Chains A and B, each alone.
Chain A
Amino acid sequence: GAGVSQSPSNKVTEKGKDVELRCDPISGHTALYWYRQSLGQGLEFLIYFQGNSAPDKSGLPSDRFSAERTGGSVSTLTIQRTQQEDSAVYLCASSLYGGPTDTQYFGPGTRLTVL
């Protein structure tokens, strides 16, 4: 079946503009995660959605970052008033139930460049 997909693949924007990044999880997966991978760094957790529960936003770096998940499926990560330090690859992952034994399946990421 289809894996996790993300769009766009690459995004170049100017400082101060807003951007939206999209994630389509694997069909039937109830858990969805966003991570950020800055140059030369590991992945940094941003936000987690599990079914209809309130999302865990503890990893969001500032209030310029927000995310929503509509209908328990597609998720959008929004970054307002982008800054150059927001440049990174944004990876989305989904898993079946969100439990600790679940395998997280990753999408190919969106490379965001803020000029």
Chain B
Amino acid sequence: AQTVTQSQPEMSVQEAETVTLSCTYDTSESDYYLFWYKQPPSRQMILVIRQEAYKQQNATENRFSVNFQKAAKSFSLKISDSQLGDAAMYFCAYRSANSGYALNFGKGTSLLVTP
């Protein structure tokens, strides 16, 4: 089974600064998908960004970008120009391209944004 590790239980960033959340995963597969989800206090999981393993180019969505290192099995999330609304739990998730359904989640990183 694939495992996803988020080694930072908590992170803090000042408003307008940049923060990077780490994620590593373990898999023997060559084709898969990686995700970052945000979970605010409302509990609703929101997709932040997605990366296909076959794509070398790192995904970007506005202020959110990833650093995908396939050989190192690393998938970090960079949040630029942090805003108070970015405060939430962030979960990294893995999804096989073969089995195609369940997401394997890390334990999450709690991001605090200070004014």
Decide yes or no: A31 and B47 within 8 Å by CB, A42-B107, A43-B91, A100-B95 being known contacts: no
Interchain CB contact under 8 A, B100 and A100: yes
- The answer to whether A26 has its CB under 8 Å from any CB of chain B is no
Q: Mark A44-77, 1 if CB is under 8 A from B, else 0.
A: 1100101000001001000000000000000000
Q: Tell me the total A-B contact number using a CB cutoff of 8 A.
A: 64
Contacts of A89 in B (CB 8 A): 43
13 A-B pairs in the complex with CB atoms less than 8 angstroms apart: A31-B101, A35-B105, A42-B6, A42-B106, A42-B108, A43-B93, A45-B103, A48-B102, A59-B102, A89-B43, A93-B45, A100-B95, A106-B45
Decide yes or no: A42 and B4 within 8 Å by CB, A99-B100, A100-B97, A103-B50 being known contacts: yes
Among residues of A, the one whose C-beta sits closest to the C-beta of B6 is A42
Interchain CB contact under 8 A, B107 and A100: no
- The answer to whether A40 has its CB under 8 Å from any CB of chain B is yes
- The answer to whether B104 has its CB under 8 Å from any CB of chain A is yes
Interchain CB contact under 8 A, B101 and A91: no
Interface size of A as a range: 20 to 34
Interchain CB contact under 8 A, B106 and A98: no
Chain A: minimal CB distance from B88 (Å): 13
Q: Mark A76-115, 1 if CB is under 8 A from B, else 0.
A: 0000000000000101010000111101111111010000
By CB atoms of chain A within 10 A, which of B4, B97, B101 has the most?
B101
Contacts of A35 in B (CB 8 A): 103, 105
